[in-house]
Amino acid sequence: MRDDIVTYIDAWHAAGVTDAVGDGPANWFALVDQRRATLKSADAKPAAPPAELRWAPASVSPVVRPAVAPTAASAQAHATAAAAQSLDDLLRQIEAFEGCGLKATAKSLCFYRGAPKARLMLIGEAPGRDEDIAGKPFVGRAGQLLDKMLAAIGIDESKVHITNTVYWRPPGNRTPTPEETQACAPFVTRQIELVEPDVIVLLGGVAAKSVLGLTEGILKLRGKWRALSVAGREVRSLATLHPAYLLRTPAAKRQVWQDLQLIAAALAT
């Protein structure tokens, strides 16, 4: 009997189920459908689509990101995020937001780690298991490596603001879907506005594609400065490899070290 139970648990663990989220079973599909139905029945009609980030290489004229049709969730997020006057306000808006299905299966909301105002802002992909438990982004193995990477150029947690493209852990640590990142995008945009960074570093392909609106792979995107326009202010942005990738591919650390040198030089000017 004991062997059967162990085999059963191992099978669920292999499928990505690593933690219990309640005292009993729950129909998560029904909860997600209920949240979607609530959004569809909302009386308020969005007056305008979500504010979009724009990017352009510093050497050319600004290029507006391709227009993306707003969903009900992203339109609702835009309306609430725009009203936030501080990070505390924004956190309350995200806590009340029901437009991202990831909220139904995650334990914790992972907002940010580090300084509320910082010249350097890092945006990753999504929280993982350790982050879901702690309620903070980048606290697991990848986060510990990230801290060492930043320390190598003289930056500690008090000098950086770290967040993700989505605020809840995707089940089984899967990649967030475009719909999930789009739902959270207005909050991320407002978060950038409130942090007021001089430099934004996008960790991994998901973050680079989501924030910059590009389609190339991270190996082509990394190491190149782009001018990101946020609320009328131009911010330098740089995509680099995600620390989790470096754990799997240590040889790529040479490329990231080059990117770190670019970041250090930018912050020194």
Q: What is the DSSP string of 78-89?
A: HHHHTT--SHHH
Cα 173 to the chain's mean position, in Å?
A: 13
Q: What are phi and psi of 59, to 5 degrees?
A: -90, 0
pLDDT for res 79: 85
Instruction: Round to whole Å and give the CA distance between 197 and 121.
Output: 6
User: 188: number of CA atoms within 13 Å, CB side?
Assistant: 30
SS3 for 72?
helix
Average pLDDT over residues 7-31: 53
Any idea what the Cα angle at residue 136 is, between residues 131 and 142, rounded to 5°?
A: 50
* Contact (CB, 8 A) for 188 and 52: no
pLDDT for res 76: 84
Average pLDDT over residues 2-22: 53
pLDDT digits (tens, 9 = 90+) for 120-161: 999 999 999 999 999 999 999 999 999 999 999 999 999 999
Residue 60: pLDDT band by 50, 70, 90 thresholds? Answer: very low
Name the superfamily (CATH) of residues 72-268: Uracil-DNA glycosylase-like domain (3.40.470.10)
Q: Which long-range contacts (CB under 8 A, 24 or more apart) does 227-231 make?
A: 227/55, 227/56, 227/57, 227/58, 227/62, 228/53, 228/54, 228/55, 228/200, 229/53, 229/54, 229/55, 229/56, 229/62, 230/53, 230/189, 230/192, 230/193, 231/193
CA separation, residue 178 to residues 16, 55, 68, 162, 209 (Å): 20, 19, 11, 21, 10
Closest by alpha carbon to 148, among 234, 256, 42, 248? 256
Residue 34: pLDDT band by 50, 70, 90 thresholds? Answer: low
Mean of per-residue pLDDT scores for the chain: 83
- Whether pLDDT at 105 is above 90: yes
pLDDT digits (tens, 9 = 90+) for 208-222: 999 998 889 999 999
Residue 30: pLDDT band by 50, 70, 90 thresholds? Answer: low
What is the reported pTM? Answer: 0.75
The residues spanned by each domain of the chain are 72-268
